[in-house]
Amino acid sequence: MKSRFVRKSQVSRLALVALVLLLTVALSGCGLASGMFTIFRRPGPAPGDGTGPISPNPDGVPVTLTLYFGEGQAENLTLEERTVIQRGESVEELAIW
């Protein structure tokens, strides 16, 4: 009697492991489940959101920003000029980015 109980628990344990493996494969994004779980997909990059490819010839106006940084113990300031492309942002927004 005891041996039958052990065998049933082993079978149920094996079935549980198989079920967990099946769910893992199904939910991991394999080809079979790709259309089922659309809520978990990340949206693709929107045009112009800054995550797409960068053009080597950006459209916009080049603007030179003068930035001041503290050096050492912030007793003196160091001047640094950077040229950035302005595409409709304010100069303050360009300095922050």
Considering the domain boundaries, does residue 69 fall inside one?
Answer: yes
Q: How far apart are CA 94 and CA 81, in angstroms?
A: 13
Number of domains the chain is built from: 2
Neighbours of 95 (CB within 10 A): 14
Considering the domain boundaries, does residue 87 fall inside one?
Answer: yes
26-55 pLDDT, tens digit per residue, is: 776 555 555 555 666 666 666 666 666 666
Q: What is the mean pLDDT of the chain?
A: 76
Considering the domain boundaries, does residue 52 fall inside one?
Answer: no
pTM for the whole structure: 0.38
Whole domain around residue 33: which residue ranges?
A: 1-43
